[in-house]
Amino acid sequence: MDHSYLLSLLLAIPAAGFLVRLFLIQHDCGHGAFFRHRLANDWIGRVIGVLTFTPYDVWRRSHALHHATTGDLDRRGMGDIKTLTLAEYRAMSLPGRLKYRLYRHPFVMFVIGPANLFLLQHRLPLGWMRAGWWPWVSTMATNAAIAAIVSLLIWLIGVKAFLLIHMPILILAASMGVWLFYVQHQFAETRWDRGPDWDLHEAALHGSSHYDLPLVLRWFTANIGMHHVHHLNSRIPYYHLPRALADHPELRDISRVTLWESLRCVRFALWDEQKRRLVPFRAARVRG
């Protein structure tokens, strides 16, 4: 029987959406929010981590650091999208500027970067090499389970079918996930501060967006667009976030970004400490 590969690629889009939803359930497990008991959260998170190619315990700790330091210019780097200030970018050498521009290029940010992150970087506990045995156990156990499942699938359907069908799903889901994370913090009126000016709750509320998505996309993304509410209280599970927003309507328009408006976020790349907003690269050419 002949099969249409084009149809398989089209079906990869909703399949990737389901994988994104699984990742966000894993995300809630990492916050101890999906179930009442920690053991249930952790083991479901670890199982889902095999499907999302993400070592759960390592990711959970790096993501906790992201929540603890979000919007703090003095503690950038762990679990964040690299963001330079306008002054830092102007002070860089030409090779440094070109490297940062390449990193921020949409094709690198949303295609090459996500594929590299989930397929390669997650195979080693990068950033946690000297943190003891637990990052290695988490990563290698996840790798072993992934290898077992991949081997089984290749045995059942062959290498070609696996690469042509499953890999597009995984890469598309990775790109979707990075896009969501990008829009949640890389919008024009986000919030960054230094030292004593930084406040966790202010950074959570004003440094995280309310990505106001259509209902279907809200379902696939497990309400993670209500990111400012999530950062204010990460123990609220995704299925209660709409209720939290309904109970506090004053939060609805804070940091709100629509689907159409989010497309313009791609051009923002530098934090202007004077204007207190993200600006595009062309702002670096304008002095004063």
Q: What is the pLDDT of residues 138-173, one digit of tens each?
A: 999 999 999 999 999 999 989 998 999 899 999 999
The answer to whether 249 and 202 are in contact (CB under 8 A) is: no
- Strands 210-212, 84-85: pairing kind: unpaired
Amino acid 2: pLDDT:
59
What percent of the chain stands above pLDDT 70?
98
For the stretch 69-114, pLDDT in tens is 999 999 887 778 999 999 999 999 999 999 999 999 999 999 999 9
What is the per-residue pLDDT across 194-218, written as a single tens digit (0 to 9) for each?
Answer: 988 999 999 999 999 999 999 999 9
pTM more than 0.85: yes
pLDDT at 1: 46
Average pLDDT of the chain is 93
